[in-house]
Amino acid sequence: MDGKIKIKLVRSPICAPEKHKRVVRGLGLRKLNQVVERPDSPVFRGMAKKVPHLLKVLE
């Protein structure tokens, strides 16, 4: 599991619950269509699964 995953913010977290906003910020996403690269670990996979309606995981 030494690979990387790219995570893209595709929908705004403005009207999302506060917990969802914290997950998005915890991933390092600030702007729409921003892409961040994170280690492919269960931690980041789990965070992405919490808000699948806001993110897109690019393998």
pLDDT tens digits for 9-56?
999 999 999 999 999 999 999 999 999 999 999 999 999 999 999 999
Domains in the chain: boundaries: 4-58
Confidence of residue 59 (pLDDT cuts 50, 70, 90): confident
Strand partners, 9: 55
Q: Which amino acid is at 34?
A: Q
In CATH, the architecture of 4-58 is 2-Layer Sandwich (3.30)
**pLDDT value, residue 2:** 67
Find, among 53, 23, 20, 16, the residue nearest to 38 by Cα.
Answer: 23
